[in-house]
Structure 1
């Protein structure tokens, strides 16, 4: 009964996905093109549009889908990994029905040049016989007309699509003259895309004329202005300042970006899903300087990069003067918004608002002073097993003594509050770092919190001349001291400027030890059989005038998600919800 219910819903979904994979180029053409008057097939008369491509740019946008074979294999892999194999099989069945005439090993693409300043999509299908493909799609489009020059014409709803066979590719467009812009072989335009990814796009903003970019900025600015006029309550001047800062950054991005790339790939060989993004600014612009100023630097916190970590985050990079200025402007806008929110907080009296604002301003000033030194260096580490968890954090600051003083001043503000934590400052000095301790009793009613932290929550803090450390969890002080001991060990900078790694299995094992849960137990069982322990990684690195980011999701994480879904479905069935 359960499988029957699932298949009932998956078949139409898979059918829609397949039609998108085979005829996606038509859909994209329809979405980007202006609607044309629908004409009956037997009365069709194409509209003349002489010179429609006279003022055409190179493609501003290139989009590719992997080949039908690649999509089928990758979808089968993912649906099996998440415990829903029927979806993949149904997709493959429908793909076989609708892909007649399509080269199953070549990618599908869409090119979008600007014609007279307007985006005009040109879709490209890999086929030597577009006529056979159109015949297969007659149920959706009706029979195709063929003009004297061999161009096919179909009507889909209120839209007209022109199709031309070009060697081993077929071009589709909403206007006949646009077909003249289609290359006979688009392989060079698909370089770095195509079958390298299941889905990819490349945007070249400098192909867009300056007047068009300015028009786009003006339209966005008008939207901001209308939003500001409708805003009720709060501080409209402050909101306008925040919007203006965002507008300036957006305008800079639109006018100074050269190229933006994205690719999503299901990598069966390495059992992972990968998302790649890359951003490149125009050479010589402020935006290029902003990103070009980021370089990896030696780090005092590189020891958090550990293979046995449940999770870690590390970043160590130089910061350009342009990035410092932009960060300062953004922070000032954010502080103004926060100040407005405090003014509207009814649970605080004026004195409390003033105290909180003062502390926030001091923390922000310390953060800005640290960034102004032209570097960022931070590391965080989480360790877990079935008995305990430990977390430690370290960061570069311009003045560690000011960080300690801020903590002391906060403690002084709450010393008369019976529910406030207990503070012990300047307890000792370890390897040049002054150690402090914050303690708070965990209420007896909080059973889970007591199993995690014990009867007393301890937060260890260390402040050095140019550093701040924080550690939480049983025996975490020793972990903090280990981080301090390694501060001078890193002499090189042969690493990405930022990286994160997350392993789900050890975190779930600890969570299950604290309080058992059927869904968590199912995920643990699946991860224990998987090739990886539920990995998620994010890596950010520098490229010329820009940055690139790679996000990787391991097969184990997919299987864990599938196990959780199946457990939830079983629970619902037992409750009679199916």
Structure 2
């Protein structure tokens, strides 16, 4: 997320600087920000499709009416509604400029339609029209090539734009309804440094030692602060481009949002962003079709990523130990808690050092309650098992659980010994939650064969055994670096069951709207490798498009029936 926020800030800073037309228009220009819009008819058809799904067939008409009102009734006469639009912020290395282009069938008619918003056009020179939306603010427009209206802040910039500006958008309008691409490498170094300056100031202030902080904690935090700054500097200097796009596929009745990060070829950032093209997993059986939530992750890490993760883990360890000390616990309890935190952190650090993550997880919900099953690769699995056993014995010793509630070595499967824990729920747990989880709550834990396993639910043992068997049968199965699938309706229903009104009112509305969904309410997030970078694809199915189409109705305070 930090990476995405940084790029967005860079894009915003660039767009702001674009307001200063300080470049020499005839110099070699490099695009910094490219905005693509697939076309008026295409987007309006998508909006109408979403509205139709939601039972709001007038949504497209409402959008057109709102646009007409915004133009004070002028409409968009003269616009070619079938072709894409675009906007470009560019630089010659010394300054910034911009231009926009839209397809036209009649430039004069379009300029007249836009007069209420952009002012009355005056002819600045033959074929060049000048608009003044505000005093002192000018836009120069002329028609170029085969029906392109091009606008720019000066006649010189306008003259330099190609007669056919569409190639500036590359394939963006064919792939997305709306897309933005920021070419980080084309931003002048001085501008990137101006962007970094406030971060340098903030991080330098954080480097001061805090009250009550030990020397070890201070050194660790100072190192992480310096690494954070260096990370920002590296990204600003080594990212090639970032791209965000949104599209509605009417034929498949689905929508998707995608963002891509690409490092400059030959840089450490490009190597780090480039994920395995087709990683393999040994936990495929833990991703269960039809689950309310499933997660699969399998990827190798670079040495830089390993070092960063180890530093972050050290920070978490120090914060956890510091919080434990602040609890004012008896010395024996404090000593035991410290040992548990250190042992757990050591296991996680050894796993990170192996340079690979591989895991699978599924959460099931329904009338029979909830069930969870998970498996993950770990280093030193025998230490994980030893930790489980120690915690169980201590819980019995401290009176937190009875001997009958904890069964060590309750069963074996696949060469792994498992332990069963039955946890009685506190008296203040609501009845609806008890029905979901069962009381007592049944938990199965185990570690061995370089893996750790967890299952929760009335049939936890059966669920876990089946997942392990499927995983063994599909060992080494090709997968993606990450896949998350969420059945939004059932998950929203789960949240409303365990949540408290009115805080979950919006979730309840969502659950009600999706209550009649026929399995078309999935949100799927996948990551893929692309040359020198990675792509994150977020796809939403038809019933989620229905929710999107119902937003205007919801905003008016009315809740439509479920899908």
**The two structures share one fold, judged by TM-score above 0.5:** yes
1:134 aligns with 2:111: yes
More divergent stretch after superposition (230-239 vs 215-224): 230-239
Are 2:297 and 2:358, in contact at CA under 8 Å, matched by a contact in 1? Answer: yes
Partner residue, 1:576: none
Match of 2:470 among 486, 509, 522: 486
Partner residue, 2:137: 159
TM (norm. structure 2) is 0.82
**How well do the aligned residues superpose, as a CA RMSD in angstroms?**
3.7
Match of 2:254 among 263, 272, 287: 272
After TM superposition, give the deviation of residue 491 of structure 1 in Å. Answer: 4.4
More divergent stretch after superposition (175-184 vs 385-394): 175-184
Are 1:276 and 1:550, in contact at CA under 8 Å, matched by a contact in 2? Answer: yes
Partner residue, 2:162: 183
Partner residue, 1:425: 408
Partner residue, 2:187: 208
- Which residues of 2 match residues 14-93 of structure 1 at below 5 A? 33-34=18-19, 52-82=24-54, 85-93=57-65
Partner residue, 1:463: 447
Partner residue, 2:375: 394
Counterparts of 2:469 and 2:450, CA distance in 1: 15
Partner residue, 1:537: 524
Match of 1:556 among 523, 543, 553: 543
1:504 aligns with 2:488: yes
After TM superposition, give the deviation of residue 83 of structure 1 in Å. Answer: 5.4
1:438-457 CA-to-partner distances (Å, cap 9, x unmatched) read 22112344212221122201
Counterparts of 2:508 and 2:194, CA distance in 1: 55
More divergent stretch after superposition (203-212 vs 558-567): 558-567
More divergent stretch after superposition (256-265 vs 436-445): 436-445
Are 2:483 and 2:527, in contact at CA under 8 Å, matched by a contact in 1? Answer: yes
SS in 2 for 1:245: helix
Counterparts of 1:554 and 1:572, CA distance in 2: 20
1:436 aligns with 2:419: yes
After TM superposition, give the deviation of residue 171 of structure 1 in Å. Answer: 2.0
1:318 aligns with 2:318: no
SS in 1 for 2:483: strand
1:291 aligns with 2:273: yes
Matched positions, count: 533
Give the direction of change, closer, same or farther, for the CA distance of 1:489–1:186 in structure 2 (3 Å limit): farther
Partner residue, 2:357: 376
Counterparts of 2:218 and 2:555, CA distance in 1: 46
Counterparts of 1:415 and 1:219, CA distance in 2: 53
List runs of 5+ in structure 2 lacking aligned partners.
1-11, 69-73
SS in 1 for 2:125: coil
Counterparts of 2:93 and 2:532, CA distance in 1: 30
Counterparts of 1:215 and 1:519, CA distance in 2: 41
Match of 1:111 among 66, 70, 88: 88
1:102 aligns with 2:79: yes
After TM superposition, give the deviation of residue 112 of structure 1 in Å. Answer: 1.2
Are 2:26 and 2:157, in contact at CA under 8 Å, matched by a contact in 1? Answer: no
Counterparts of 1:78 and 1:160, CA distance in 2: 38
Are 2:185 and 2:240, in contact at CA under 8 Å, matched by a contact in 1? Answer: yes
1:357-395 CA-to-partner distances (Å, cap 9, x unmatched) read 543333232222112222211000122332232210100
Are 2:369 and 2:438, in contact at CA under 8 Å, matched by a contact in 1? Answer: no
Are 1:29 and 1:123, in contact at CA under 8 Å, matched by a contact in 2? Answer: no
SS in 1 for 2:251: coil
1:516-552 CA-to-partner distances (Å, cap 9, x unmatched) read x999898677547656431111111112222112110
1:482-504 CA-to-partner distances (Å, cap 9, x unmatched) read 12223322244433221111223
Counterparts of 2:411 and 2:47, CA distance in 1: 58
1:232-278 CA-to-partner distances (Å, cap 9, x unmatched) read 98777665443322222222222222222221012221111101222
Counterparts of 1:513 and 1:324, CA distance in 2: 40
SS in 2 for 1:287: helix
Are 1:523 and 1:563, in contact at CA under 8 Å, matched by a contact in 2? Answer: no
